[in-house]
Amino acid sequence: MTDLPALLETLRPQLLRYAQLQLRNPAWAEDAVSETMLAALEKPESFAGRAQPKTWLIGILKHKLVDQVRKHSREVQVSIDDDDGQALEDGLFDEGGHFRETPAEWGDPQAVVGQTQFIKVLDACVEKLPNQLGRVFLMREWLELDTDEICKELSVTPTNLWVMLHRARLRLRECLQINWFGQPALAPSAPAKPKTR
């Protein structure tokens, strides 16, 4: 790679944003990105050219984020008290556990994921998650940690983890429904108020 330092400097803001989304701690995120850049500079030959440089760096960053999570796991307190999560579930599901209203058609998921704007909206929705829900969701879906590892790192039971993941996914669904697909997912809707002139 001809100008690796310049490339690293160009991609640094994106890497830092990913790290901050996961760790929710600016200092830890900065450490993970710095370690990623150092690893890339120390072993540029590990970039075999089979992927884009950004993909290569994100692969390194994933490992550094996992290291940060493990290093600081004792400092993070996780609470599953989420009254809003219960209210959201009550609004989406009836007593039998079925959707009160069928979700809007989301189209072809593969085509949507490729859209840059969708990724920005998704990032914003993930950022709006309460800290513990966002962290657990990203550990599972982005870092691809397994259930046992997440439970061990955060000192939660598998049942608690699944509840948190369920609530995170519900919140993300609601946020995407409103901010990307343009209609609320909560139902039943309140009767429309008459317009005054």
pLDDT beyond 70 at 26: yes
- pLDDT of 143 reads 78
Q: List all residues 6 or more positions away from 151 whose beta carbon is below 8 Å from its beta carbon.
A: 157, 158, 161
Query: Residue 99, SS3?
Result: strand
DSSP 9: H
98/93 Cα distance (integer angstroms): 5
What is the residue whose two structure tokens read 């948190």? 164
Residue pair 68/74 in contact (Cβ under 8 Å)? The answer is no
Q: List the single range of 23-32, 34-43, 44-53 with lowest mean pLDDT.
A: 44-53
- Whole-model pTM: value is 0.50
Measure Cα distances from 50 to 33, 54, 127 in Å: 22, 12, 31
- Confidence at residue 45, expressed as pLDDT on a 0 to 100 scale: 77
H-helix or E-strand containing 176?
helix 158-179
Token couple for 83: 């009254």
- Domain annotation for the chain: domains and CATH numbers: 4-75 (1.10.1740), 83-179 (1.10.10.10)
